[in-house]
Amino acid sequence: MNKEEMLEEVYKRAKAYELAGGNCSQCSLAAIFEVLGVDDENVVRAATGFADGVGLTGDGHCGALSGGTMAISYFFGRKKEDLGKVGRQLKALLLAKKFHEQFISEFSTCRCHDIQVKQFGRFFNLYDMEDMKAAMAAGVPEGCSTLVGKAARMALNIILEEQAKKEKKVELPVV
């Protein structure tokens, strides 16, 4: 697949996963991993608790932002052996910051609660069955799945752009 096809594919997969069963963090991360050929079930599993602003509270940032950030960090993050080396985390931090800025530019906020209020006029407590029904009636699955698809596309684009930069660097022969 070329870059545009990959970006379209990640959008479709993330959106479809979110519509099928929710969990914005896992859906965005899983779609990015699939498009890039990564098979790491443990990382996808580790994204579970980030859904709906952490634990369905709405009080943290959007899970799609978490999932995309996890994908960026998977490729450019600091390894455990480098935990004492501050500089080794800089690439992932700068790319995560770029993703965050793009996310805010697109959605005006990163906090799940605020996104729901902006998109649907209120926040839905998904632990409450009446609120769950109201969320369904308000179109939350469609709205959130579109956001998840867009966020996955943003994160994948950052990953692909950074990988392309690495490939363009030409090592000069040592004379």
Nearest CA to 60 among 111, 24, 116?
111
Per-residue pLDDT, 14: 98
Q: Is residue 175 part of a domain?
A: no
Number of domains, the chain? 1
In angstroms, the Cα distances linking 96 to 36, 63, 90, 140, 155 are: 18, 14, 10, 26, 9
pLDDT 10s digits, 63-87: 999 999 999 999 999 999 999 988 8
Q: Is residue 34 part of a domain?
A: yes
C-beta of residue 115 within 8 angstroms of C-beta of residue 107: yes
Per-residue pLDDT, 87: 86
The pTM for the full model equals 0.92
Q: Which domain holds residue 91?
A: 3-162
Q: Is residue 91 part of a domain?
A: yes
Those residues of the chain that have pLDDT short of 70 are 169-175
Q: Is residue 88 part of a domain?
A: yes
Q: Spell out the long-range contacts of 37-46 with Cβ–Cβ below 8 A and sequence spacing 24 or more.
A: 38/74, 40/74, 43/70, 43/74, 46/70
Q: Is residue 95 part of a domain?
A: yes
Per-residue pLDDT, 166: 81
